[in-house]
Amino acid sequence: MKFIPSDLPGVMLITPDVFSDERGAFWEVHHQEKFAENGISYQFIQDNQSTSRRMVLRGLHYQLVKPQGKLVRVLQGKVFDVAVDLRRSSPYFGKWMGCILSGRNRQQLWIPPGFAHGFYTLSNWAHVSYKTTELYSSQTDRTLLWNDASVAVDWPLIDGRLPMLSVKDANGVPLEKAEVFE
């Protein structure tokens, strides 16, 4: 496994070592010791999966109480995955990073607690799987507005068309009004 730090400290792109032959392929998704050696020593306690059609945008989500760290990967399809630093004490507060995750590149994105997370589906369908370090809490779940101008995520919108959003995501809060982390 290769652990590649992003421009946002703590957010890391993880590329597996893939072993392929005529039968198919094998790679590790999680190896506790290798993760710990690279600064990811959290225990994962919940696994989630979602499917999304082309042009669906999910996010930008975060939890105030018991914030979740997320290890995100795409099993099938392709998404543009985004993390936004919501730690007010961070010099990177309000900054974002994005990357392509796909079933082909097999990469994962580690997003530590204190960040908002979201993704935009680029393929006809995408099957996304992610591990979390805390259980989901609907009472403390929050949504940062996906197109907040002060954050300015450069979403690769297909043909410049608006994404498909849930009501919750369409009603996200801009950063200046969002409840964030200290």
DSSP string, 16-27: ---EEETTEEE-
pTM over 0.75: yes
Domain map (residue ranges) of the chain = 2-17+41-177
Q: State the pLDDT at residue 34.
A: 96
Element (H, E) at 36: helix 32-37
Cβ pair 3, 38 in contact under 8 A: yes
CATH number assigned to the domain with residue range 2-17+41-177, chosen from the 4 options 2.60.120.10, 3.30.56.10, 3.40.190.10, 3.40.50.720: 2.60.120.10
Phi, psi of 159 (to 5 degrees): 55, 20
pLDDT level of residue 1 (50, 70, 90 thresholds): very high
For 66-81, what is the mean pLDDT?
98
Q: State the pLDDT at residue 8.
A: 96
pLDDT level of residue 147 (50, 70, 90 thresholds): very high
Q: So which residues are the catalytic ones? A: 61, 130
CA distance linking residue 98 with residue 132, whole number of Å: 19
- pLDDT tens for 37-53 read 999 999 999 999 999 99
Q: State the pLDDT at residue 36.
A: 95
pLDDT level of residue 69 (50, 70, 90 thresholds): very high
